[in-house]
Amino acid sequence: MLTVHVFQESDKAGMDFPNFNFNVSHHGDYVAIASEPLCLVGLDIVSCTIPLRETIPEFVQNFSSYFSSFEWDNILNAGTSDEILIEFYRYWCLKEAYVKAIGIGVAYGLDKVEFHHTGWGNISVKIDGETMTEWKFWLFELGKRHWASVAKGHPKSATESYKRTLRQSDFDEEDYNKGLYLPDAPFLSKTVEQLISIFCEAKG
């Protein structure tokens, strides 16, 4: 069954929406959208599907150049073949969310984007070895071997072409932290049938 998951940040700080932006992703049985009033936002969904025409080690090896040596060691040492595949998809999901947030494709040097975590919580990223303190990340297990990641960061990290679409890219630390640390809100899950019903009611 196709479902739609929406990640929203609650605007309880009385802020306006200087950089309202949103990101959409779909894979497998899920579609999702995430939005932000100030920070950049990136979203990715992965369906942990077992490759059909090659072994799991052969499949993940195709992507080795996209990971740092630290990440690659974690993937290869995750355990069984299935655990290796899950670890691969978790890292991949985070990397996709980050590059989507800044407005660039996977051709970006993803091996320089290195994720660290504690049990897939408290996630942080290093770019060229430097910890990016103005970014936050979440990884959610949606069920049925699906994961979603949300990346949230400073507008100054956007590509130049993306910055031109934003109202504001420079913030003082206090104003930016109001946006970065808005209260976390859970995913809202709706089936396609529920969304159609909501749409029809809205049309009146």
The amino acid at residue 98 is Y
Q: Name the percent of the chain lying above pLDDT 90.
A: 72
* pLDDT number for residue 115: 98
Residue pLDDT, tens place only, 80-101: 999 999 999 999 999 999 999 9
Q: Do 182 and 13 form a contact (C-beta atoms < 8 A)?
A: yes
Mean local confidence (pLDDT), 60-76: 97
* DSSP bridge partners of 137: 151
3-state secondary structure of 68: coil
Closest by Cα among 28, 1, 21 to 166 = 21
Mean local confidence (pLDDT), 8-35: 77
pLDDT level of residue 6 (50, 70, 90 thresholds): very low
Question: Is residue 4 pLDDT above 60, yes or no?
Answer: no
Task: Say how far apart CA 202 and CA 65 lie, in whole Å.
Answer: 48
CB atoms under 10 Å from CB of 133, counted, come to: 11
Domains assigned to the chain: 3-203 (3.90.470.20)
With 0-12 CB in 10 A as exposed, 13-18 as middle and 19+ as buried, what is 13?
Answer: middle
